[in-house]
């Protein structure tokens, strides 16, 4: 396999992994998505080692641009799914904080209220 072929194979692997990541994000499989993302990063690092000036010949630039465009589109949609999930988690955390604070406030009021309700005896 030539260095140029190795680069394109690496981009194809990234594209396939990106598609899996998008599917996982759409299915809200967050743990598996995190695992897949770690492997994706490793493949990007490997690709960096393959990219050399001789692999960037103009005859393959359009093909590479097409692969990159597809990667970016999948990445953008994956990010939208993750950002939506992050917002949902933020709302749940805020709701939990409000409930906790409200519960504490009632506990404090109940504890203070008991002694004040008893009044003078």
pLDDT in tens, 61-80: 888 889 999 999 999 999 99
Domain ranges of the chain: 3-92
pLDDT at 93 over 80: yes
pLDDT for 19: 97
CATH superfamily, region 3-92: Flagellar protein flit. (1.20.58.380)
Rounded mean pLDDT, 105-121: 62
pLDDT for 60: 76
Backbone angles phi, psi at 2, to 5 degrees: -75, 160
Across the chain, mean pLDDT equals: 86
C-alpha distances out from residue 10 to 33, 40, 69, Å: 20, 11, 15
Q: How confident is the model at residue 95 (pLDDT cuts 50, 70, 90)?
A: confident
pLDDT for 102: 84
Angle at 113 between CA 108 and CA 115, to 5 degrees: 110
């Amino acid at each position: 396999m030539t260095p140029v072929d190795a680069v394109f194979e690496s981009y194809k692997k990234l594209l396939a992994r990106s598609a899996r990541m998008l599917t996982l994000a759409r299915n809200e499989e967050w743990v598996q998505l995190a695992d897949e993302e770690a492997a994706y990063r490793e493949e990007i690092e490997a690709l960096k080692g393959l990219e050399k000036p001789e692999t960037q010949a103009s005859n393959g630039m359009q093909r590479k641009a097409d692969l990159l465009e597809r990667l970016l589109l999948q990445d953008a949609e994956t990010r939208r799914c993750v950002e939506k999930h992050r917002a949902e988690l933020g709302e749940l955390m805020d709701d939990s904080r409000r409930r906790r604070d409200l519960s504490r406030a009632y506990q404090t009021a109940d504890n203070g209220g008991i002694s004040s309700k008893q009044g003078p005896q």
